[in-house]
Structure 1
């Protein structure tokens, strides 16, 4: 599964067209991580500048592809709205930042609490159509 890096408007348009502008899709899973951590000796370790990363798994009711994974690197802002059914989404490049939102007409500075949006320095995507169904891909829930 090879990653496709989004570098500009042409790549944005290709992604949006390939996945039908996320029409009739859903955000199934997401995971966030960074390079900050506490060592066993309780000292703090810091990241390298592109600290926050988010991977998101989307599935949709169409083929070719039916599921994709987005990787956002260098996440500067993230808001989780009413994640669920997505009617349409958008990805734009503004002032050197990629901005993805699960509402096509959403604009930065809108105060829509129900919209999920991400501002990041880099975006990559890949076809994971073989990841359809309910199986968790980013880890199982545990009771401990």
Structure 2
């Protein structure tokens, strides 16, 4: 393997792991090698922007709300059963609902738009149409 290609791949991996936002990692095909890493980065940025403008992660908020609601329901039901056994079904249900909803909301809050499968697929197709090959996301 050419030392320049290896150096570029290592640089991409290091840059990808140093940032909070996940980015696609490209296979160093002929287009990538001829245009260079900077051109590839610009193309990635362009596709990421198009995906944001297309609101491909719009369903992420709906998914968070649904997951939070379901977890609150499960937590409430579980808490009510435990509360009934220990003497206060209402109190147990309220505590369980609050705990379940909060746990789901916090776990969903750490997701980024890049975690949306639709967002990722949009970017991958955009890059494919430009001639790039996505290996994965980091």
Q: Which bracket does the TM-score occupy, shorter chain normalised?
A: under 0.3
Structure with higher helix content:
2
What TM-score do the two structures reach when normalised by structure 1?
Answer: 0.26
User: Greater relative contact order: 1 or 2 (C-alpha under 8 angstroms, separation 6 or more)?
Assistant: 2
| Bigger radius of gyration | 2
Structure with higher strand content:
1
What TM-score do the two structures reach when normalised by structure 2?
Answer: 0.27
